[in-house]
């Protein structure tokens, strides 16, 4: 039995992850933490503990894997606490600065196994493969990444859009992508760049489109999440996979490679 704890237990994702974990054999939720709602009962009878008690909660519950869906700064601190205790990790939180990413990686390396992904859905992980293939096949086409999310989303552009840009840059090689332009306004000619555009509104769960436009044609590759359960089930699958793996940082592609 893999014992999992969850930071952000009362959030939109946390709530769904608890439901998904309950459906999966071999996983047991042993602790849930949040900065709000301490003492509230979670499905399964566990009481929410205050986020400040993370270290004690991980020790007392003998957690194998911590799943974090919180906010950037909290994710870095929570991952460092887990890594120090040798607790494996699944991190879904987005919006981390390059410095925060580096600090998290440094804390993890050599101490625990972690799956870090800005998007745990199966579809987006296939989307990234298709985008890489299309970018190479249509070398020289103009590329724009357009994402849309609900009005409560804190970070922009989305972590998935940034990972999409990285995927394209890696596939094309650094010389092919000179810069990334976030939105456009005023007089400017398009250069050898990737344009990134963030749309925010209503309850959109998460859309990502890559547009490749050339002379006389364009190709659009699009992923739309209909429900957050696509992310929650992937995160739970990653938790089952990562428990007891060799210390290191893994991607969702590593999880999906082992069917
Ligand atoms: N990787 C993915 O597949 C994926 C999918 C959806 C959302 N996300 C990301 O996950 C994060 C959470 O998204 P959400 O929609 O659930 O947000 P949310 O605001 O609904 O939930 C976040 C929860 O974290 C709690 N929290 C804040 N600081 C904390 C701390 N120090 N310790 C414990 N809990 C803390 C908040 O009180 C809240 O309950 C965001 O960064 C979002 O972009 C990732």
Question: Tens of pLDDT along 183-228?
Answer: 999 998 998 899 999 999 999 999 999 999 999 999 999 999 999 9
Q: Is the pLDDT of residue 254 over 80?
A: yes
The yes-or-no verdict on residue 235 having pLDDT over 90 is: yes
**What integer pLDDT is reported at residue 73 of this predicted model?**
97
Query: Which residues does ligand 1 sit against, CB inside 6 Å?
Result: 7-8, 10-14, 33-36, 51, 69-71, 74, 92-95, 117-120, 231
Has residue 259 got a pLDDT over 90? no
pLDDT value at residue 177: 72
Buried b (16+ CB within 10 A) or exposed e, 27-62: bebbbbbbeebeeeebeeebebbebeebeebbeebe
Q: Is 194 helix (H, G, I), strand (E, B) or coil?
A: strand
CA of 70 to the centre of ligand 1 (A): 3
Active-site residues, by number, are 149, 153
What values do phi and psi take at 40, rounded to 5?
-65, 140
* 95 CA: nearest ligand 1 atom: 41
Mean pLDDT of the chain: 96
Cα(128)–Cα(131) distance, rounded to whole angstroms? 5
CA separation for the pair 57, 15 (Å, rounded)? 19
pLDDT band at 22 (very low <50, low <70, confident <90, very high): very high
| Segment 29-43, tens digit of pLDDT | 999 999 999 999 999
Q: Which atom of ligand 1 is nearest to the CA of 92?
A: 1
Q: What is the pLDDT of residue 35?
A: 98
**Which range is least confidently modeled, 173-182, 216-225, 239-248?**
173-182
At residue 44, the pLDDT reads 86
Judged against a pLDDT cut of 80, whether residue 178 lies above it is answered with: no
- pLDDT tens figures, 96-113: 999 999 999 999 999 999
Which of 37, 42, 54, 70 to mutate for ligand 1's pocket (most ligand atoms within 8 Å of CB)?
70
How far is the centre of ligand 1, averaged over its atoms, from the C-alpha of 196 (Å)?
23
- Ligand 1 mean position, distance from CA 94 (Å): 8
Averaged pLDDT, 228-248: 97
* Alpha-carbon span 141 to 128, nearest angstrom: 17
The CA 253 to ligand 1 mean position distance, Å, reads 22
């Amino acid at each position: 039995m893999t014992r999992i704890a969850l930071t952000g237990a009362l959030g939109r994702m946390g709530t769904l992850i608890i439901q998904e974990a309950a459906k999966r054999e071999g996983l047991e939720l042993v602790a849930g933490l949040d900065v709000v709602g301490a003492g509230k009962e979670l499905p399964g009878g566990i009481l929410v503990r205050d986020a400040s008690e993370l270290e004690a909660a991980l020790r007392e519950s003998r957690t194998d894997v911590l799943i974090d869906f919180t906010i950037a700064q909290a994710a870095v601190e929570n991952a460092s606490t887990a890594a120090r205790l040798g607790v494996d990790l699944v991190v879904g939180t987005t919006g981390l600065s390059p410095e925060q990413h580096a600090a998290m990686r440094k804390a993890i390396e050599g101490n625990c196994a972690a799956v870090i992904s800005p998007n745990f859905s199966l579809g987006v992980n296939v989307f990234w493969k298709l985008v890489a293939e299309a970018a190479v096949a249509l070398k020289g086409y103009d590329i724009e990444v357009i994402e849309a999310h609900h009005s409560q989303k804190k970070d922009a552009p989305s972590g998935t859009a940034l990972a999409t840009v990285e995927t394209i840059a890696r596939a094309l090689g650094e010389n092919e992508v000179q810069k990334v332009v976030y939105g456009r306004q005023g007089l400017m000619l398009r250069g050898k760049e990737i344009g990134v555009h963030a749309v925010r509104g209503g309850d959109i769960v998460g859309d990502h489109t890559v547009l490749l436009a050339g002379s006389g044609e364009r190709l659009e590759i699009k992923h739309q999440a209909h429900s957050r359960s696509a992310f929650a089930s992937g995160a739970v699958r990653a938790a089952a996979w990562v428990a007891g793996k060799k210390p290191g940082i893994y991607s969702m592609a590593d999880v999906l490679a082992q069917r």
